[in-house]
């Protein structure tokens, strides 16, 4: 039979390992969630950038053209069309802006977490 102190120490070590594993798993899930949010934000940024760029490209001086901009209808339709174009370009792989923004966001998050760990 084990002495009570040895049993208690063994039980404490087991609980400590379980807690450490749980904390590591939670941290891993939190990191995955943060990475997913960063990826989504980077993709949305690329889509917004493309939408703005396409809007500037498709602006016309006159009222002639395929959208028939003789009123507000043409402008509204053009706006919706450029938004959809930007979304489709982003879905098909984009132009690389999202990847670069995502990498920079991860660098900033790593630097911030490193600074937080250094402060404690």
* Domain, as residue range, for 41: 37-119
Q: How far is CA 54 from the centre of its chain?
A: 23
> Residue 1 falls within a domain, yes or no?
no
> Residue 66 falls within a domain, yes or no?
yes
- CB-count burial class (<10 Å; 0-12, 13-18, 19+) for 119: exposed
> Residue 104 falls within a domain, yes or no?
yes
Please tell me the predicted confidence (pLDDT) of residue 20.
Answer: 47
Question: Domain tally for the chain?
Answer: 1
> Residue 12 falls within a domain, yes or no?
no
> Residue 63 falls within a domain, yes or no?
yes
> Residue 70 falls within a domain, yes or no?
yes
What DSSP assignment string belongs to 6-48?
HHHHHHHHHHHHHHHHHHHHHHHHHHHHHHHHHHHHHHHHHHH
Q: What is the distance in angstroms between the CA of the first residue and the CA of the last residue of the chain?
A: 42
> Residue 84 falls within a domain, yes or no?
yes
Please tell me the predicted confidence (pLDDT) of residue 1.
Answer: 44
- CB-count burial class (<10 Å; 0-12, 13-18, 19+) for 87: middle
Please tell me the predicted confidence (pLDDT) of residue 28.
Answer: 60
> Residue 21 falls within a domain, yes or no?
no
One digit per residue, the tens of pLDDT, for the chain of length 120 reads 445 445 455 554 544 455 545 444 555 676 788 889 989 999 999 999 999 998 888 776 555 666 656 566 777 788 888 899 999 999 998 898 999 999 998 898 888 877 777 776
């Amino acid at each position: 039979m084990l002495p009570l102190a040895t049993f208690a120490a063994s039980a404490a070590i087991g609980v400590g390992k379980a807690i450490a594993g749980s904390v590591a798993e939670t941290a891993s899930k939190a990191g995955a969630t943060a990475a997913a949010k960063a990826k989504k934000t980077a993709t949305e940024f690329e889509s917004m950038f493309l939408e703005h760029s396409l809007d500037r490209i498709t602006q016309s001086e006159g009222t002639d053209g395929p959208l028939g901009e003789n009123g507000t209808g043409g402008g509204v339709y053009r706006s919706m069309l450029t938004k959809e174009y930007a979304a489709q370009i982003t879905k098909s792989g984009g132009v690389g802006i999202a990847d670069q923004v995502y990498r920079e966001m991860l660098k900033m998050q790593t630097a911030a977490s490193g600074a937080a760990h250094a402060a404690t």
